[in-house]
Structure 1
Amino acid sequence: MSLEKEFLAELIDAITNDRLTLPTLPEVALRIREAVNDPEVNSETLASVIGQDAALAARIIKVANSPLMRGSVVVDNLQLAITRMGMAFVRNLATGLAMEQMFQATHDAVDKRLRDSWQHSLEVASISHVLASNFTKLKSDQATLAGLVHEIGILPILTLAEENPAILEHEAVLDKIINRLNGKVGRAILKAWEFPEELLEVPSGCTDFSRDKGPVADYVDVVTVAKLQSYPEGENPYAKVDTSTIPAFQKLGLSHEIDVHHVDELAEELEETKQALG
């Protein structure tokens, strides 16, 4: 049996028999979600929960002061930041940003792949935010979170690969396996994390370019377009895909030839979003 088939068989067997170790959502994200879901919570209580993670707190204040929020006065504390953005927005933002710590590993090759995946997810999330806010009635913060989790399935796949060093030496083979199983594994993770139904299909649906679930754009459509727009010129693995046939572009009212990086009013917002999330 070839190395690819052997690793793939092991991975599929682990998935089928529920033996694949799925990552757990960072503790701070769980506490924030629990707090926001409490009908009695207020901005002061939520601020005290977020404040237990100084780095996350600083990033949330940074976003609150970014051009994205269009605030006229600088906020210098979490409570004011939460008031400006709203609890649901803060919950999605904190959940997404807290996940960054998961995209790290001790093995150099795995660590590089995870960090590259996180950087790409930030790009997709930023574009998703811009697309949702300009071309849909969807929540831009939910679209941002959708972009951040679209490659979440890579985590347990690479964890298993770390135990099989031979597969790490064959990057093309590993890429092929990740592309094949990211969607299925990603859905399992998001379901275990109790993410909303509207996001569960994102990891698998965003690369199903014929997907058409109705006339109105959903979060999968947004991430599909964002993903296709996210690669530097000459590095797009989907360069040969005929984007004119992809329903997601039509639902967003976009030309399949658009490049959000070169549309002035979108490019500025995109850069602001990247700076806020980065």
Structure 2
Amino acid sequence: MSNTTDTLRLALLNRFLKGEAKIPQMPEAAVRIRKLLDNPMTSTEQLVRVINGNPPLAAYLMQFSSSPLMRGSRPCGSLRDLLDRLGTRQLADLVLGFSLQHLFESTDPLLLQAFRLRWRHARERAAHCAVLAQRAGVSMDDAMLAGLLQDIGSLPLLSELENWPEVPRDSATLEELCESLSGNLGALILTRWQLPPSIIECARLYGQWQREHDGVADMADLVLLASAMQAGHEPEEPLPVQKKLGLEQPLATLREELADELSMWKRLLA
């Protein structure tokens, strides 16, 4: 990183740490659903009414009605059927994942373009996470959300850059800033949102491909492997996270093995 970019990075990070730059609130739709789910008096009928009041959200949720996320031998025929089978945490995670795309607004076309690219990458990472979760025997919905949120720190950074017209808008500069600051800012946002520590850790470790730690594999290992696969990395030796997860074949081979499942999850998450 050049001295100029390094100085800019530190200045931006300092604004967030001092509370001078805006940290986004959890999306309103996700907050509303979580409040309903936290209330033991909330009925399925109430949830159906609220979700049907947001047709794009209802359509998004119904896409998962016949996915591996659902338990049972038959697909869900209605939103009520779907909600009866989804766990409360699954529903909260899916609503939050859907709502994230509306967190960023900008009048700067280059910043908007950068956001759309990173959001597409986030969806692809979430698809990789879902497939790897099936292999690793961990919760698919937790893994998908962790994948979507791993780069959440880029959103407030791109929003803040609206106030910095002197910062070049070329893709290389924007990517360098996002890559270097996403982990710190992501952990800050998800801590404010009071999400589980395992999800916060996934964001904090953004881009740390060579992560090593004691103990068994955790969610951060899975998300880092998904991120490496999605980004097209081809390391000469298996990554430490691959060894933790018992998936030591070359990443190109792993992508090929998972291609059909990945295609399905990418369609669902689009």
Structure-2-length-normalised TM-score: 0.90
Give the aligned residue type for 1:50: I
* 1:151 corresponds to: 151
Give CA-to-partner distance per residue, 1:55-109, whole Å, 9 cap, x none.
Answer: 0011101111346537654534321111233222111111111111124532110
Question: How far apart in 1 are the matches of 2:3 and 2:246?
Answer: 45
Aligned to 1:48: 49
Corresponding residue for residue 262 of structure 1: 256
Residue 140 (structure 2) aligns with: 140
Shift of 1:14: 0.6
Distance 1:169 1:93 in 2: 32
**Which one-letter code corresponds to 1:267 in the other structure?**
A
Unmatched 5+ stretches in structure 2: none
Q: Give yes or no for contact 1:152–1:203 (8 Å, CA) kept in 2.
A: yes
Contact 2:152-2:203 at 8 Å conserved across structures: yes
Shift of 1:243: 4.6
Q: Is the 8 A contact 2:65 2:82 kept in 1?
A: yes
Percent identity of paired positions between Structure 1 and Structure 2: 29
What is the match of residue 248 of structure 1?
241
Alpha-carbon shift at residue 45 of structure 1 (Å) = 2.5
Aligned equivalents of 1:61, 1:171: Cα separation in 2: 35
Q: CA RMSD in A?
A: 2.3
Shift in Å, 1:2: 6.8
Larger CA deviation: 121-130 vs 174-183: 174-183
Aligned partner of 2:266 in structure 1 is 274
How far apart are the structure 2 equivalents of 1:131 and 1:87? 23
**Separation in structure 2 between the aligned mates of residue 12 and residue 86 of structure 1, nearest angstrom:** 37
Report the residue type matching 1:209 in the other structure: W
1:161 maps to 161
User: What does residue 38 of structure 1 align with?
Assistant: 39
TM-score (norm 1): 0.87
Contact 2:153 2:186 in 1 (8 A): yes
Cα contact 1:92–1:142 (8 A) shared by 2 = yes
What residue number does 1:110 align with? 111
| Cα distance, 1:5–1:216 mapped onto 2, change above 3 Å | closer
Measure the CA separation in 2 of the matches of 1:189 and 1:243: 34
Alignment of 1:1-278 (within 5 A): 4-66=5-67, 68-69=69-70, 72-136=73-137, 138-231=138-231, 236=232, 238-239=233-234, 241-244=235-238, 246-259=239-252, 260-263=254-257, 266-278=258-270
Tell me, in whole angstroms, the C-alpha distance in 2 between the residues paired with 1:118 and 1:71. 31
State the secondary structure of the residue aligned to 1:209: coil
Consecutive unaligned residues in structure 1, runs of 5 or more: none
Residues 4, 167 of structure 1: 8 Å contact kept: no
